Structure 1
Amino acid sequence: MIREKLVNEYRHLVNASYPYINSLLNNCYIKIIDGYLNPVSPAYYYLGIYYAGRNGKEITLYKYELKNIAKTFGMIDVVFINAKRIIRDPASTLKQENPRLWLELYWISSKVTTNLD
């Protein structure tokens, strides 16, 4: 629950600072990921942005801005992950280990956006 609030605050700050980037993040799934160097060391946190393959290049263009905002929340780094690759990977056990995350990634990767400009 605290992680969800932190992600919502992150989105709010991105929206206040860079509205265009926030519109790109609407097609992404953002998750706080924790890592450990060894079992006794304290955890470090970074932000995982799962994107669909079609908007990956556009989001990674703004990685400097997204990393700077994440650093204000105490995150080490921002990692960009292609959701379609994870879903289609036959060796992935994500569907069995974390079915909710798998469904979220499936939903993100199957969204269809049309540019009728």
Structure 2
Amino acid sequence: MIREKLVKKYRDLVSYSYPYINSLLNDCYLKIIDGCLNPVSPPYYYLGIYYVGRSGKEIVSYQEELRKIAKTFGMIDIVFLDAKRLIRDPVSTLKSENPRLWLELYWISSKVTTDLD
């Protein structure tokens, strides 16, 4: 619940600072990804931006602006992932391990109706 609010605040700040980038993020799925080196060390957080197809090149071109805003929220970095590639990967276990994320990525990849990749 807190992560969804943090992502919403991130989107609001991007919308205020960079309206064009916000329009690009409307076709993406944003998620906070956490990691930890060992049980003793504190966790660190990334922002995962799941994009679809050709829109990824344009979003990645604005990675410095997105990274600067993410650092204000205490995140280490941004990770860009192709949603269509993840859901079509035959050896991926994402569908069985995290079905909600898989459905979100499937929804994002199916709503974009641009040229075939």
Q: 1:96 and 1:112 mapped to 2: Cα distance? A: 24
Aligned length: 114
Aligned-partner Cα distance in 1 for 2:80–2:49: 5
Q: CA deviation at 1:113?
A: 4.4
Q: Per-residue deviation at 1:38?
A: 1.2
Return the offset for 1:109.
1.0
- Structure 1 unpaired stretches of 5+: none
Alignment root-mean-square deviation, CA: 0.9
- Where does residue 4 of structure 1 map in the other structure? 4
1:42-98 alpha-carbon deviations (Å, 9 max, x no partner) = 100010000001200010000000000000000000000000111011110000011
Identity of aligned residues (%): 80
* TM-score, normalised relative to structure 2: 0.94
Distance between the aligned counterparts of 1:113 and 1:102, measured in 2? 19
* Corresponding position of 1:66: 66
Residue aligned with 2:54, SS: helix
Structure 2: unaligned runs, 5 residues or longer: none
Q: Distance in 1 between matches of 2:92 and 2:53?
A: 18
